[in-house]
Amino acid sequence: MHEQKKIVNKLIRFFFILLPNFAFGHIKTPEEFGFRHIVLKYRGDNVDVLIKSKKGEENVPKPLFFFCQGSLPQPLIKYHGKDVYGVFPFNPDTLSRKYHLVIVSKPCIPIAADIETLSPSFNFIDSLGNFPKGYSDRNLLSYYVPRNIAVLKYLQKQKWVKTTQLIVAGHSEGSTVAAKMAVYHKNITHLIYAGGNPLGRIMSMIGQCRAIETDTDSTRFGEEEIKYWEAVVKNKSYMDASHGDTHKATFEFSQPPIEYLQKLKIPVLVSYGTKDWSAPFNDFMRVDFIRQGKKNITFQSYVGTEHNFFPLTEGNQPNYDIFNWDKVANDWLKWTNEN
């Protein structure tokens, strides 16, 4: 288990907002959860796309707000009885007044599932407890970026989409996907890079391990991650996923996203918690871009918060009673209005 599994397994039950109860006991269609559901084809795969619009304004032309979620093979819609867990980590109502919100499913993962059929961390797994091979084979930056761009090209042809503005946002793993999308798709007008590590995934993995080392003999976790990285680089196309991410996935997501951000001239917002593992790297990028005189990137730090913007307790644990995601989303909206 590497970076994503370590973080998300601890937080996942707190990461999703419970939506208002629905008056039915079993899953029917995404439309019954307030979403439009479009199925597109990409390289022979079915791609599930959910669109959240303000009720009654589904056909009113508005720009798109495309959200790239974080890692792991989770259905977009997770439910249990009458309770439905939020598809977005934030309440989408504020953003939907101005935008049609878009999110795309993970490859080869059902769009909806009862949480009782998922792992304790809400992952969709096979009978052996592994991630489905179809997912692992496609869980690559080189798959997500062109797939998402293909979805955007389709959606921007629809009458209910206003093409004057196109916002792409991503959190955690999704921040890397969003940043590279912005390099390759010139229709993107604004990028929101949240909770990412601008020096790449491997640096987050090493940083987490260094933080829990206690002596020089028995807890050389950081050294183990560096040895893992050596193995990844030696065989960067290796696609075995039995122990977590494939080497190819780790290699692709460890390409420093700062290289993508450096190329961009569109407005970019970087959001991060100062207690996140990646905070020092975002601080470095911030300082370096000031040195370069790069003016198109705005940095917004959330002091004392971790990867998912929860503040920390005195025991250095996330305080899940204080939910900041809606504040973050409101700050995103304010920034788009000002830029």
Three-class SS state of 49: strand
Instruction: State residue 209's pLDDT score.
Output: 85
Instruction: State residue 256's pLDDT score.
Output: 98
Question: Among 38, 85, 36, which residue's Cα sits nearest to residue 57?
Answer: 36
Instruction: State residue 28's pLDDT score.
Output: 57
For 114, the token pair is: 């009862």
Instruction: State residue 217's pLDDT score.
Output: 63
Instruction: State residue 22's pLDDT score.
Output: 41
Q: In DSSP terms, which residues pair with 298 in a beta bridge?
A: 269
Instruction: State residue 24's pLDDT score.
Output: 41
Residues 6+ apart with CB under 8 A from 80: 114, 115, 116
Instruction: State residue 218's pLDDT score.
Output: 65
Instruction: State residue 250's pLDDT score.
Output: 97
Per-residue confidence in pLDDT tens, the chain, 339 aa? 444 444 444 444 444 444 444 434 454 578 878 899 999 999 999 999 999 999 999 999 999 999 999 999 999 999 887 788 889 999 999 999 999 999 999 999 999 999 999 999 899 998 888 999 999 999 999 999 999 999 999 999 999 999 999 999 999 999 999 999 999 999 999 999 999 999 999 999 998 888 877 776 667 888 899 999 999 999 999 999 987 899 999 999 999 999 999 999 999 999 999 999 999 999 999 999 999 999 999 999 999 999 999 999 988 899 999 999 999 999 999 999 999
Let me know how long the chain is.
Answer: 339
The hierarchical CATH code for the domain 3-338 is 3.40.50.1820
pTM: 0.92
Residue 24, classified by CB atoms within 10 Å of its CB into exposed (0-12), middle (13-18) or buried (19+), is exposed
Instruction: State residue 5's pLDDT score.
Output: 41
3-state secondary structure 95-146: HHCCCEEEEECCCCCCCEEEHHHCCCCCCCCCCCCCCCHHHHHHCCHHHHHH
